[in-house]
Structure 1
Amino acid sequence: MATAVSILPAQQLAMLEEAYRRSVSRKRLKAALAAAVFCAALVIAAVGAEVNLRTLFTYFGNFVSYFDRILTLESGARVWTDFPEWFWGWKKWLRMLGETVLISYVGTLTGAVFAFALNFFAAQNTSPAPWLRFTVRRLLEFARTVPGIVFALIFVIAFGLGPMAGVLAIAIHSTGALGKLFAEIVENADMKPVEGIRSTCASWLSCMRFAVLPQVSAGYASYALLRFEINVREASVMGFVGAGGIGQELVVAIRKFYYSDVSAILVTIIITVFIIDISTGPPRRGWRCRP
């Protein structure tokens, strides 16, 4: 079948081509200016932060040699040549690693409960009053802005060494982080069901329960699982200040220069995070795909 192709007059075509070239030139100029501003900001930030490339390359060998030491047994052999010697304390490490996972689980669950209770007040489309939204948002910002290890150090001073400090620190930090994420999910929810339920003179709590919660519950579960994975790493670091878990054993090995023990403990932590990520990945993806 024959098709007709319309050809513009040469003068009109030339005008279109000139307009296209000007448009492309403007875009290229904007991209070049953005790249120049980015590079300038990067240089200024590096100077302000006293980033010295000469120091980096001068002492980079120390970084490499440290990894060489942690991969070497006291006998001089490589760690992978003698696994029983490398993981000599695996029973104790697994017990402490299990404590780290439990700290993360309890802290994440507690933080998710408080985040669930507060996020409706922090969301712009569901908060009953502006002053309440402002107050809850500032509270959540404080909870997630202060580093978890700082909270852990405070609770260690208050309650002593042990898992209690780690659980409280993770719970507070998770409340702030999950509260923000949960509130953003609620703000993206469809408000038409809320209007329908509200037209029946239902209470605010009923609107949240029957109109908003069914839309956002899958996202809540997905982000809570992701936060649990993150908190396992957080709990490992909190052991450095005596908040329980495998971190206490790791910091002891670092301070006493037990190099092969450092690498063995790091491997157990990494494998644990891998297992948690693999096991929670399918549920997270499944919940996100739900309508």
Structure 2
Amino acid sequence: MRTHLYQIAEPRAALLLQQYAASTAAKRRRTWLFAAVIVLCAALAAWGGEVNLRKLVEGLPRFWSYIHDILPKLRLAHLSSDLAEWFWNWDGWLALLGETLLVAYVGTFLGAGIGFFLSFFASANLVKSVIARTIVRRSLEFCRTVPDIVFALLFVYALGLGPIPGVLAIAIHTAGALGKQFSEVVENVDMNPVEGVKATGANWFERVRFAVLPQVLSNFVSYTLLRFEINVRGASVMGFVGAGGIGKELLGSIRQFYYSDVSAILLMIIATVFAIDLLTERLRFRLIGMEERA
């Protein structure tokens, strides 16, 4: 096997090196300019938000002091009795935690269903009407832009205390978030199967059912599981405004300075979220693996 080396004339080589150096210098200048803009924006944000590093440093000891105060005094000689005293209302808290999980589950289920339906109408490769896509996309933006706790406050005012306001708030916010993610997945599908199904005379819904849905279903389920993790944490906070679940009990314990109750409830919430994260992570990885094998 022969190889040929071509020698470039020195003037030509010098010109190429000069152009390369100029291109590298221009790229370096753009990088430094971008970094300077980021630093400037961060400085302006810190100034506008009245960020005070001195207060932060002075307040950190109080933070750790509060953590120390809410932790119970566990003695090795009386460990069982100390734990029983710490989790004295574990069954009541567990019931409220179950209510929180149900709020997150039902809200995620409803929101995912709405987002699933609207995502196909927000995809540019399936819907050619700019007006229709714009209406759907702006509706999804509204749903995910307004914080879910604000929706919860509105529904608590309209419907009263209980889990229903939390379910509706999570459903609306989830529909906006998942609808956006689902539509992006749909816009990246292979259009060859869609054109093939269309050539058989299939209508729009049949093309979505038989050509688009098989390509996106695993990603849809993966995003929904990820959203469920987020909603469990969100549902815990919604109890602060009376939208049901463990949040109301946690807020009451904080306001009444029941320090040991605060730590016990927080520990139960953290353990539950950890367990759900691990379970849904395994399910999502399994779905991704199945999709790659397919």
Do they superpose with TM above 0.5?
A: yes
* Deviating more after overlay: 17-26 vs 4-13: 4-13
1:197 aligns with 2:185: no
Quote the residue 2:277 is aligned against: 277
Q: How does 1:133-172 map to 2 (within 5 A)?
A: 133-172=133-172
Q: SS of the counterpart of 2:50?
A: coil
How large is the RMSD of aligned CA atoms in angstroms?
2.4
Quote the residue 1:131 is aligned against: 131
- Cα deviation, 1:241-260, whole Å, max 9, x if unaligned, reads 11111101100111001112
Quote the residue 2:102 is aligned against: 102
Separation in 1, partners of 2:133, 2:22: 47
Q: Cα distance, 1:11 vs. partner?
A: 6.0
Separation in 2, partners of 1:94, 1:227: 22
Separation in 2, partners of 1:90, 1:273: 17
Quote the residue 2:217 is aligned against: 217
Q: Please say if residues 253 and 262 of structure 2, whose CA atoms lie closer than 8 Å, have aligned partners that are also in contact.
A: yes
Quote the residue 1:120 is aligned against: 120
Q: Please say if residues 74 and 82 of structure 2, whose CA atoms lie closer than 8 Å, have aligned partners that are also in contact.
A: no
Separation in 2, partners of 1:3, 1:135: 61
Separation in 1, partners of 2:2, 2:82: 77
Total equivalences in the alignment: 288
Separation in 2, partners of 1:165, 1:188: 35
Quote the residue 2:244 is aligned against: 244
Q: Cα distance, 1:7 vs. partner?
A: 6.5
Q: Please say if residues 108 and 171 of structure 1, whose CA atoms lie closer than 8 Å, have aligned partners that are also in contact.
A: yes
Separation in 1, partners of 2:266, 2:281: 22
Separation in 2, partners of 1:117, 1:34: 39
Separation in 1, partners of 2:21, 2:251: 62
Quote the residue 2:229 is aligned against: 229
Q: Cα distance, 1:25 vs. partner?
A: 2.9
Separation in 2, partners of 1:197, 1:5: 52
Separation in 1, partners of 2:80, 2:6: 72
- Cα deviation, 1:63-101, whole Å, max 9, x if unaligned, reads 2211121124599xxx99932222222111111111111
- Cα deviation, 1:30-78, whole Å, max 9, x if unaligned, reads 2222222211111111111211222222323222211121124599xxx
Q: Please say if residues 72 and 260 of structure 2, whose CA atoms lie closer than 8 Å, have aligned partners that are also in contact.
A: yes
* Deviating more after overlay: 198-207 vs 121-130: 121-130
Q: Please say if residues 73 and 86 of structure 1, whose CA atoms lie closer than 8 Å, have aligned partners that are also in contact.
A: no
Q: SS of the counterpart of 2:161?
A: coil
Q: Which amino acid aligns with 2:277?
A: D
- The gaps in structure 2 that reach 5 residues or longer are none
CA gap of 1:157–1:54, structure 2 versus 1, over 3 A, is same
Separation in 2, partners of 1:104, 1:169: 10
Separation in 2, partners of 1:36, 1:47: 16
Separation in 1, partners of 2:25, 2:135: 48
Q: Please say if residues 73 and 260 of structure 1, whose CA atoms lie closer than 8 Å, have aligned partners that are also in contact.
A: no
Runs of 4+ with >6 A deviation? 1-7
Quote the residue 1:35 is aligned against: 35
| Identity across the alignment (%) | 54
* Deviating more after overlay: 36-45 vs 178-187: 36-45
Separation in 2, partners of 1:49, 1:177: 27
Separation in 1, partners of 2:20, 2:135: 51
Quote the residue 2:61 is aligned against: 61
Quote the residue 1:86 is aligned against: 86
Separation in 1, partners of 2:211, 2:2: 56
Q: Which amino acid aligns with 1:213?
A: L
Q: Please say if residues 163 and 244 of structure 2, whose CA atoms lie closer than 8 Å, have aligned partners that are also in contact.
A: yes
